[in-house]
Amino acid sequence: MELAHKLLSHLFPSRCIFCHKTLAQAIEICPDCYTSLPHNESCCLRCALPLPDELGDSVICGRCISKAPAFDYAHSLFRYEDSVIWLVHQLKFGEKISHARSIGEMLSARLLQTGESPDCLLPVSLHHLRLRQRGFNQSIEISRVIAKRSGIPLEHDAVVRHRRTSAQTGLDAKQRKNNIRGAFTLVQAIDCQHVLIIDDVMTTGATVEELARLLKKSGVMRVGVLTIARAPVRS
């Protein structure tokens, strides 16, 4: 199997998702393109909200000071801008499911940098009708890579999205919160004290907030969030 993989890699080498340069690595993004992406380096320590560069990464945003989220921490590798928007849209709507591997590899490296040691990974679930329409759950595909790299168990059947919600795109923070309220159900016990929620993009945080609240209510002590990108909050 390994020999066949090497042969296929030689005959059909991977290329950078952005510039199409030939690569010899698992992440299909070349070092130059990776460096040029909008890394979320200056952000809220609690919710990963992008902040002005001069504030650094050791501050808490006003929203979290005013009302702390149900989750305990969040890490987002990039800001949801330009090329990152294109990358996520290609994965979700362009049927480029192979991009999940590169995203998963990058998030695996990011998780290692955080020093966090969650007991399990929980990808954000899709309603069964949306799953049937799309054909896959991008959060699960990303989580599979992280689980394989980290050895952390993947819990993808414990929570279901029992209510079909309207698309969150185009909704403001209040509308997103109302839209997602009560959408998830815990269908089997999660025997973990520290759960890491995996998603592609965090916009207002309404979805992961609802999940974190459900997990905390069930007895989970610590909940984190890991996403590929974080969008600025628009009221």
Give the Cβ contact number of residue 210 at 10 Å: 20
Query: What is the percent of the chain where pLDDT is above 70?
Result: 85
For helices 82-92 and 99-114, the axis angle rounded to 10 degrees is: 120
- Mean per-residue pLDDT for 143-159? 94
Could you tell me if 74 and 61 are in contact, meaning their C-beta atoms sit under 8 angstroms apart? no
Strand partners, 121: 154, 196
Go through 169-200 and write b for each residue having 16 or more CB atoms within 10 A of its CB, e for each that does not. Answer: eebeeeebbebbeebbeeeeebebebbbbbbb
The predicted pLDDT at position 10 comes to: 46
Domains present along the chain, CATH in parentheses: 1-36 (no CATH), 38-230 (3.40.50)
Q: Please give the average per-residue pLDDT across 189-212, as a whole number.
A: 94
Tell me the pLDDT band of 175, cut-offs 50, 70 and 90: low
Pairing of strands 184-186, 159-161: antiparallel
| pLDDT of 3 strictly over 60 | no
- Predicted model pTM: 0.87
Q: Tens digits of per-residue pLDDT, 206-235?
A: 999 999 999 999 999 999 999 999 998 765
Task: Output the average pLDDT for the chain.
Answer: 86
- Res 9 pLDDT > 60: no
| Overall average pLDDT of the 179-202 stretch | 87
pLDDT of residue 157: 86
Q: What percent of the chain has pLDDT over 90?
A: 63
Instruction: Please give the pLDDT value at position 93.
Output: 86
Place of tokens 């990303």: 142
Q: Mean per-residue pLDDT for 79-96?
A: 91
Residues in the chain, total = 235
Residue 89 has pLDDT above 80, yes or no: yes
